[in-house]
Chain A
Protein backbone atom coordinates (compact mmCIF):
# COMPACT_ATOMS: atom_id res chain seq x y z
CA UNK A 1 0.00 0.00 0.00
CA UNK A 2 1.34 3.41 -0.91
CA UNK A 3 1.26 6.27 1.47
CA UNK A 4 -1.29 8.85 0.49
CA UNK A 5 0.16 12.09 -0.78
CA UNK A 6 0.42 14.99 1.63
CA UNK A 7 -2.20 17.56 0.78
CA UNK A 8 -1.34 20.87 -0.84
CA UNK A 9 -2.53 24.17 0.60
CA UNK A 10 -5.40 24.34 -1.79
CA UNK A 11 -6.36 20.82 -1.04
CA UNK A 12 -6.50 21.60 2.64
CA UNK A 13 -8.87 24.36 1.77
CA UNK A 14 -10.89 21.97 -0.38
CA UNK A 15 -11.13 19.82 2.69
CA UNK A 16 -12.34 22.76 4.75
CA UNK A 17 -14.96 23.53 2.13
CA UNK A 18 -16.07 19.92 1.74
CA UNK A 19 -15.05 19.67 -1.85
CA UNK A 20 -13.16 16.41 -1.74
CA UNK A 21 -14.23 12.90 -2.51
CA UNK A 22 -15.03 10.86 0.56
CA UNK A 23 -11.92 8.86 -0.01
CA UNK A 24 -9.57 11.81 -0.23
CA UNK A 25 -11.24 13.52 2.71
CA UNK A 26 -10.61 10.40 4.70
CA UNK A 27 -6.94 10.42 3.76
CA UNK A 28 -6.63 14.03 4.77
CA UNK A 29 -8.27 13.35 8.07
CA UNK A 30 -5.63 10.72 8.67
CA UNK A 31 -2.97 13.22 7.70
CA UNK A 32 -4.35 15.78 10.11
CA UNK A 33 -4.43 13.27 12.92
CA UNK A 34 -0.73 12.79 12.47
CA UNK A 35 0.01 16.49 12.00
CA UNK A 36 -1.47 18.36 14.89
CA UNK A 37 -0.09 21.71 13.86
CA UNK A 38 -1.71 21.41 10.45
CA UNK A 39 -4.91 20.34 12.14
CA UNK A 40 -4.78 23.33 14.42
CA UNK A 41 -4.28 25.68 11.51
CA UNK A 42 -7.30 24.28 9.76
CA UNK A 43 -9.26 24.75 12.92
CA UNK A 44 -8.19 28.35 13.25
CA UNK A 45 -9.34 29.10 9.73
CA UNK A 46 -12.55 27.22 10.22
CA UNK A 47 -13.20 29.20 13.36
CA UNK A 48 -12.50 32.39 11.46
CA UNK A 49 -15.09 31.35 8.85
CA UNK A 50 -17.62 30.85 11.58
CA UNK A 51 -16.99 34.24 13.11
CA UNK A 52 -17.24 35.83 9.70
CA UNK A 53 -20.61 34.20 9.24
CA UNK A 54 -21.68 35.42 12.66
CA UNK A 55 -20.67 38.89 11.60
CA UNK A 56 -22.70 38.70 8.43
CA UNK A 57 -25.75 37.37 10.18
CA UNK A 58 -27.00 40.63 11.57
CA UNK A 59 -27.73 42.04 8.12
CA UNK A 60 -29.77 38.95 7.39
CA UNK A 61 -31.73 39.39 10.57
CA UNK A 62 -32.76 42.97 9.87
CA UNK A 63 -36.38 43.34 8.94
CA UNK A 64 -37.04 43.74 5.24
CA UNK A 65 -38.07 47.21 4.07
CA UNK A 66 -41.73 47.35 3.09
CA UNK A 67 -40.95 48.59 -0.37
CA UNK A 68 -39.30 45.27 -1.22
CA UNK A 69 -42.25 43.33 0.00
CA UNK A 70 -44.45 45.61 -2.04
CA UNK A 71 -42.52 44.84 -5.22
CA UNK A 72 -43.00 41.11 -4.75
CA UNK A 73 -46.64 41.48 -3.76
CA UNK A 74 -47.38 43.58 -6.81
CA UNK A 75 -45.77 41.00 -9.07
CA UNK A 76 -47.91 38.30 -7.46
CA UNK A 77 -50.98 40.32 -7.96
CA UNK A 78 -50.24 40.88 -11.60
CA UNK A 79 -49.48 37.26 -12.15
CA UNK A 80 -52.66 36.13 -10.50
CA UNK A 81 -54.73 38.57 -12.44
CA UNK A 82 -53.87 36.90 -15.73
CA UNK A 83 -54.12 33.46 -14.28
CA UNK A 84 -56.68 30.81 -15.24
CA UNK A 85 -59.73 30.23 -13.21
CA UNK A 86 -60.88 33.18 -15.21
CA UNK A 87 -60.88 33.27 -18.96
CA UNK A 88 -57.86 34.77 -20.65
CA UNK A 89 -55.35 31.97 -20.79
CA UNK A 90 -53.67 33.42 -23.78
CA UNK A 91 -52.23 36.27 -21.82
CA UNK A 92 -50.33 34.01 -19.46
CA UNK A 93 -46.60 34.17 -19.64
CA UNK A 94 -45.22 31.11 -21.36
CA UNK A 95 -43.92 28.35 -19.22
CA UNK A 96 -45.18 29.69 -15.96
CA UNK A 97 -48.12 29.02 -13.79
CA UNK A 98 -48.63 25.37 -14.52
CA UNK A 99 -48.40 23.36 -11.39
CA UNK A 100 -49.08 26.08 -8.98
CA UNK A 101 -51.20 25.66 -5.99
CA UNK A 102 -53.59 28.50 -6.32
CA UNK A 103 -55.52 29.54 -3.34
CA UNK A 104 -52.36 29.37 -1.35
CA UNK A 105 -50.67 32.63 -2.09
CA UNK A 106 -53.66 34.34 -3.57
CA UNK A 107 -55.84 34.28 -0.57
CA UNK A 108 -54.56 37.55 0.81
CA UNK A 109 -55.37 39.25 -2.42
CA UNK A 110 -58.74 37.86 -3.19
CA UNK A 111 -60.65 40.45 -1.33
CA UNK A 112 -61.56 43.57 -3.20
CA UNK A 113 -58.86 43.18 -5.77
CA UNK A 114 -61.03 42.58 -8.78
CA UNK A 115 -60.88 45.14 -11.44
Chain B
Protein backbone atom coordinates (compact mmCIF):
# COMPACT_ATOMS: atom_id res chain seq x y z
CA UNK B 1 0.00 0.00 0.00
CA UNK B 2 1.20 3.49 -0.83
CA UNK B 3 2.30 5.62 2.02
CA UNK B 4 1.31 9.25 2.29
CA UNK B 5 4.68 10.57 1.17
CA UNK B 6 4.43 8.57 -2.01
CA UNK B 7 0.94 9.86 -2.64
CA UNK B 8 2.21 13.40 -2.22
CA UNK B 9 5.20 12.73 -4.44
CA UNK B 10 2.96 11.46 -7.21
CA UNK B 11 1.10 14.74 -7.27
CA UNK B 12 4.12 16.97 -7.79
CA UNK B 13 3.60 17.34 -11.55
CA UNK B 14 0.01 18.37 -10.95
CA UNK B 15 1.02 20.84 -8.28
CA UNK B 16 3.44 22.38 -10.75
CA UNK B 17 0.76 22.73 -13.35
CA UNK B 18 -1.71 24.34 -11.01
CA UNK B 19 1.00 26.60 -9.61
CA UNK B 20 1.92 27.70 -13.08
CA UNK B 21 -1.60 28.71 -13.69
CA UNK B 22 -1.71 30.63 -10.40
CA UNK B 23 1.66 32.30 -10.60
CA UNK B 24 1.89 32.69 -14.37
CA UNK B 25 5.62 32.31 -14.28
CA UNK B 26 7.44 29.01 -14.25
CA UNK B 27 10.05 30.01 -11.68
CA UNK B 28 7.64 31.64 -9.31
CA UNK B 29 5.41 28.64 -9.73
CA UNK B 30 8.12 26.24 -8.67
CA UNK B 31 8.94 28.35 -5.63
CA UNK B 32 5.31 28.14 -4.75
CA UNK B 33 5.30 24.38 -5.18
CA UNK B 34 8.32 24.10 -2.94
CA UNK B 35 6.66 26.06 -0.12
CA UNK B 36 3.44 24.14 -0.47
CA UNK B 37 5.26 20.82 -0.56
CA UNK B 38 7.14 21.54 2.63
CA UNK B 39 3.92 22.65 4.28
CA UNK B 40 1.98 19.64 3.07
CA UNK B 41 4.60 17.18 4.24
CA UNK B 42 4.77 18.81 7.65
CA UNK B 43 1.02 18.52 8.07
CA UNK B 44 0.47 15.25 6.29
CA UNK B 45 -1.14 13.75 9.35
CA UNK B 46 -4.14 15.93 8.73
CA UNK B 47 -4.84 14.40 5.33
CA UNK B 48 -7.62 11.89 5.68
CA UNK B 49 -7.37 8.55 3.97
CA UNK B 50 -10.02 8.15 1.32
CA UNK B 51 -10.21 11.84 0.48
CA UNK B 52 -8.72 13.31 -2.64
CA UNK B 53 -5.01 13.95 -2.13
CA UNK B 54 -4.80 16.26 -5.10
CA UNK B 55 -7.58 18.46 -3.80
CA UNK B 56 -5.98 18.54 -0.36
CA UNK B 57 -2.66 19.61 -1.85
CA UNK B 58 -4.29 22.17 -4.11
CA UNK B 59 -5.92 23.83 -1.14
CA UNK B 60 -2.52 24.15 0.51
CA UNK B 61 -0.95 25.43 -2.69
CA UNK B 62 -3.68 27.96 -3.24
CA UNK B 63 -3.53 29.21 0.35
CA UNK B 64 0.22 29.54 0.07
CA UNK B 65 -0.21 31.55 -3.09
CA UNK B 66 -2.83 33.83 -1.61
CA UNK B 67 -0.74 34.46 1.48
CA UNK B 68 2.29 35.26 -0.65
CA UNK B 69 0.27 37.72 -2.66
CA UNK B 70 -1.12 39.33 0.41
CA UNK B 71 2.33 39.80 1.70
CA UNK B 72 3.38 41.32 -1.59
CA UNK B 73 0.16 43.37 -1.53
CA UNK B 74 -0.96 42.15 -4.87
CA UNK B 75 -4.45 40.98 -5.49
CA UNK B 76 -4.05 37.42 -6.65
CA UNK B 77 -7.16 35.89 -8.04
CA UNK B 78 -8.91 38.91 -9.37
CA UNK B 79 -6.01 40.01 -11.52
CA UNK B 80 -6.75 39.87 -15.16
CA UNK B 81 -5.44 37.34 -17.53
CA UNK B 82 -3.12 39.65 -19.41
CA UNK B 83 -0.54 39.75 -16.68
CA UNK B 84 2.76 38.36 -17.80
CA UNK B 85 2.85 35.39 -20.07
CA UNK B 86 0.28 32.67 -20.29
CA UNK B 87 0.30 29.49 -18.38
CA UNK B 88 0.11 27.37 -21.46
CA UNK B 89 2.74 28.37 -23.89
CA UNK B 90 2.64 26.81 -27.29
CA UNK B 91 4.25 23.42 -27.44
CA UNK B 92 7.26 22.85 -29.63
CA UNK B 93 7.21 21.86 -33.22
CA UNK B 94 4.56 19.22 -33.00
CA UNK B 95 2.13 18.78 -35.78
CA UNK B 96 -0.68 20.03 -33.63
CA UNK B 97 1.21 23.03 -32.32
CA UNK B 98 -0.78 25.45 -34.41
CA UNK B 99 -4.16 24.28 -33.30
CA UNK B 100 -3.15 23.97 -29.67
CA UNK B 101 -1.45 27.35 -29.87
CA UNK B 102 -4.73 28.86 -30.87
CA UNK B 103 -6.41 27.20 -27.93
CA UNK B 104 -3.65 28.29 -25.55
CA UNK B 105 -4.09 31.88 -26.62
CA UNK B 106 -7.82 31.65 -26.19
CA UNK B 107 -7.38 30.12 -22.76
CA UNK B 108 -5.00 32.86 -21.70
CA UNK B 109 -7.53 35.49 -22.69
CA UNK B 110 -10.19 34.15 -20.33
CA UNK B 111 -10.90 35.69 -16.94
CA UNK B 112 -9.01 34.02 -14.14
CA UNK B 113 -12.01 32.40 -12.52
CA UNK B 114 -12.89 30.77 -15.83
CA UNK B 115 -9.36 29.52 -16.28
CA UNK B 116 -9.18 28.14 -12.79
CA UNK B 117 -12.32 26.09 -13.04
CA UNK B 118 -11.18 24.67 -16.37
CA UNK B 119 -7.81 23.74 -14.95
CA UNK B 120 -9.21 22.09 -11.88
CA UNK B 121 -12.11 20.21 -13.42
CA UNK B 122 -11.18 19.60 -17.04
CA UNK B 123 -7.42 19.24 -16.83
CA UNK B 124 -7.13 17.76 -13.37
CA UNK B 125 -10.30 15.75 -13.60
CA UNK B 126 -11.55 16.75 -10.19
CA UNK B 127 -15.16 16.24 -9.20
CA UNK B 128 -17.25 19.37 -8.80
CA UNK B 129 -17.25 18.69 -5.08
CA UNK B 130 -13.47 18.59 -4.82
CA UNK B 131 -13.19 21.61 -7.08
CA UNK B 132 -15.59 23.45 -4.80
CA UNK B 133 -13.41 22.71 -1.81
CA UNK B 134 -10.30 23.95 -3.60
CA UNK B 135 -11.88 27.13 -4.94
CA UNK B 136 -13.89 27.67 -1.77
CA UNK B 137 -17.19 28.19 -3.55
CA UNK B 138 -20.43 26.16 -3.55
CA UNK B 139 -20.76 23.20 -5.90
CA UNK B 140 -23.52 25.00 -7.81
CA UNK B 141 -21.11 27.81 -8.55
CA UNK B 142 -18.58 25.37 -9.95
CA UNK B 143 -21.21 23.89 -12.16
CA UNK B 144 -22.48 27.14 -13.63
CA UNK B 145 -19.08 28.76 -13.85
CA UNK B 146 -17.72 25.73 -15.65
CA UNK B 147 -20.53 25.87 -18.21
CA UNK B 148 -19.81 29.53 -18.85
CA UNK B 149 -16.08 28.95 -19.02
CA UNK B 150 -16.41 26.23 -21.61
CA UNK B 151 -18.53 28.46 -23.81
CA UNK B 152 -16.24 31.41 -23.29
CA UNK B 153 -13.26 29.35 -24.33
CA UNK B 154 -15.07 28.22 -27.40
CA UNK B 155 -15.93 31.77 -28.23
CA UNK B 156 -12.39 32.96 -27.66
CA UNK B 157 -11.16 30.42 -30.17
CA UNK B 158 -13.34 31.32 -33.08
CA UNK B 159 -15.45 34.30 -32.17
CA UNK B 160 -18.75 32.51 -32.41
CA UNK B 161 -21.34 32.85 -29.72
CA UNK B 162 -21.89 29.35 -28.70
CA UNK B 163 -24.50 27.92 -26.40
CA UNK B 164 -25.28 24.58 -24.91
CA UNK B 165 -28.85 24.53 -25.97
CA UNK B 166 -29.81 27.09 -28.57
CA UNK B 167 -29.78 26.46 -32.32
CA UNK B 168 -26.52 25.17 -33.55
CA UNK B 169 -24.59 26.22 -36.58
CA UNK B 170 -22.54 28.64 -34.51
CA UNK B 171 -19.24 27.13 -33.63
CA UNK B 172 -19.60 24.28 -35.99
CA UNK B 173 -17.18 25.14 -38.66
CA UNK B 174 -16.23 22.12 -40.60
CA UNK B 175 -13.97 20.01 -38.47
CA UNK B 176 -11.35 19.83 -41.19
CA UNK B 177 -8.98 22.38 -39.76
CA UNK B 178 -7.70 19.83 -37.36
CA UNK B 179 -4.29 18.36 -37.82
CA UNK B 180 -6.02 15.08 -38.56
CA UNK B 181 -3.39 12.70 -39.62
CA UNK B 182 -5.67 11.08 -42.12
CA UNK B 183 -6.00 14.28 -43.94
CA UNK B 184 -2.29 14.86 -43.93
CA UNK B 185 -1.68 11.44 -45.33
CA UNK B 186 -4.18 11.91 -48.00
CA UNK B 187 -2.62 15.13 -49.07
CA UNK B 188 0.72 13.52 -49.23
CA UNK B 189 -0.59 10.79 -51.46
CA UNK B 190 -2.22 13.04 -53.99
Contacts and interface: CB of A to CB of B under 8 A. Distances in A.
Interface centre among A17, A59, A105 (most CB of B within 10 A): A59
Interface in A69-90: 69, 71-72, 75-76, 79
A53 B41 contact: no
Interface in B1-15: 1, 3-6, 8-9, 12-14
Given A41-B171, A48-B154, A96 B45 contact: yes
Nearest to A53: B123
Interface SS of chain A: helix, strand, loop or mixed?
helix
Sort chain B's interface into a size bin: 35 or more
Interface string A11-33: 01110010100000000000000
Interface centre among A14, A60, A95, A105 (most CB of B within 10 A): A60
Contact of B8 (A19, A72, A93): A72
Contacts, number: 119
Contacts of B154: 44-45, 48
Interface of B: 1, 3-6, 8-9, 12-14, 16-17, 20, 30, 33-34, 37-38, 41, 45, 88, 91, 96, 99-100, 103-104, 107, 118-119, 121-123, 128, 143-144, 146-147, 150, 153-154, 157, 162-165, 167-169, 171-172
